[in-house]
Chain A
Amino acid sequence: MLTKRIIPCLDIRDGRTVKGVNFENIRDAGDPVELALLYSQQGADELVFLDITATVEKRKTLVELVKRIAANINIPFTVGGGISTVEDVAVLLQHGADKVSVNTAAYKNPQLIADLSNRFGSQCVVLAIDTKKEIDGEWYVYLNGGRTKTDTRTIDWAKQAVGLGAGEILLTSMNNDGTKAGFAVDITLLLSNQLPVPVIASGGAGTMQHFKEIFKAGNADAALAASIFHYKEIGIPELKEYLSNEKIPIRI
């Protein structure tokens, strides 16, 4: 049976992890490869590296990092952040990334999604959407790391992007992100039920029960979290054991 995926996310700037991590058994908490190796050994199903490096020049560091990750990590990984051209993607995939995630650039130029899926296949094109529920009760797409609101409903953009060839949706709820109060179940469920591709829920993980909820009530295919893993609030082995006991298909 296909299992639900647990995906730790690492924020990267200039080739180093940004958020502090709290692990005793790794030598260098800032080295993404060392942290990624630890997560993969603990049973993470996949990894996401989100590059928040501002300058183009320093993005070369990212390619070097992707090479090191690919050489050292034996599970799939996605690279995202600031990707805007087919050439960006070609370089990342060539150096061993399994998938890339696109966000603002794809919204501004939807043809990018078609170009990427035609050239590299849908399976490696993840559409990341930052979404926020407004007072009218609708979920809208936000751009530029959540700084810019659009008038597009999230479900509409997700459907369009899947039609263009996006193979997976990484959905981050801005209402939930950082709250540790649980994932956004309603919008995750809506996308998961209406789209033929997997949906990765992101934002709001605080307890193991939250993961169970997003898999059962939200019908998510995968759940992504960062700080609760980095700060060891939840260990991946105990989380997976808990979910398995709760009858959620999980790889132990």
Chain B
Amino acid sequence: MIAIIKYNAGNVQSVQYALQRIGVDSVVTDDETIIRHADKVIFPGVGHAQSAMQYLKEKELDKLIVSLQQPALGICLGLQLMCSHSEEGDTDCLGIFDTPVKLFSSDRLKVPQIGWNNIYDYQSVLFDGLEDQAFMYTVHSYYAALSKDTTATTDYILPFSAALQKNNFYAVQFHPEKSGIVGETILKNFIQIT
């Protein structure tokens, strides 16, 4: 069973639908026991880093997430919350990845980045079977800087982490659940991790 962490962020339902489309059962929950015993955990979300962190702390989900032993996948805000610190509300995050999250700054390009962008330099099983420069759907104003944990890169204003990985923790900035067939491949690759 796949547990999708329920908290005060949007877009959780879309992940469950995407898993359904590839024939995988999941449960959306904030129950510690269920999450701890799930085969895999997905930590999705669209929302605000500060209010999300506050909510996770109140529900003690912050401690639970960092102590997970099974493969866990952060998506979008999930990725950002797994980093060390976010400029969004000057928030200390979960610290799984030793990478800061910063606000895009540009006079030339629009913020947030909304739409399909390509990713490259794959260094994770998540991207097995993907063509180089695959396009992913992405919506965000903040980005995780490049780091030793970066497993895929993308460019908007500057190069940054499209994906991160450390031990059992995986994370992607884009939305695999909304990225067509390529996104479904990434979800399948995550599901197949042993």
B-contacting residues of A (Cβ < 8 Å)? 1-5, 40, 45, 70-72, 74-76, 93-96, 98, 120-124, 167-168, 195-198, 221-222, 251
Contacts and interface: CB of A to CB of B under 8 A. Distances in A.
Contact of B18 (A3, A45, A74, A95): A74
A124 B175 CA distance: 14
Contacts of A95: 13
Interface in B77-130: 109-118
B135 interface: yes
A26 B177 CA distance: 24
Given A123-B139, A124-B10, A2 B113 contact: yes
Contacts of B36: none
B48 interface: yes
A2 B112 contact: no
Chain B interface extent, by class: 35 or more
Nearest to B77: A121
Interface stretch (B60-68, B145-153, B161-169, B180-188): B180-188
A76 B137 contact: yes
26 contacts: A2-B113, A2-B116, A71-B17, A71-B21, A72-B21, A74-B18, A74-B21, A75-B137, A75-B178, A76-B137, A96-B14, A121-B46, A123-B112, A123-B140, A123-B141, A124-B10, A124-B46, A167-B114, A168-B114, A196-B111, A197-B110, A197-B112, A198-B110, A198-B114, A222-B115, A251-B135
Contacts of A251: 116, 135
A122 B178 CA distance: 18
A219 B86 CA distance: 31
Given A120-B10, A121-B10, A74 B184 contact: yes
Contacts of B115: 2-5, 45, 198, 221-222
A226 B50 CA distance: 40
A4 B110 CA distance: 13
B20 A74 contact: no
A120 B10 CA distance: 7
Contacts of A167: 112, 114
Contacts of B20: 71
Contacts of B156: 2
Contact of B178 (A4, A98, A121, A124): A98
A53 to B, nearest CB: 23
A195 B112 CA distance: 12
B179 interface: yes
A96 B19 CA distance: 13
Contacts of B31: none
Given A76-B175, A123-B140, A251-B135, 11 more contacts: A2-B116, A2-B117, A3-B135, A45-B115, A70-B17, A74-B180, A74-B181, A95-B13, A167-B112, A196-B110, A221-B114
Given A74-B21, A124-B46, A198-B110, A3 B14 contact: no
A225 B21 CA distance: 28
A5 to B, nearest CB: 5
Nearest to A123: B139
A74 B116 contact: no
A93 B14 CA distance: 10
A86 to B, nearest CB: 13
B32 interface: no
Contacts of B141: 123
Contacts of B177: 74
B155 interface: yes
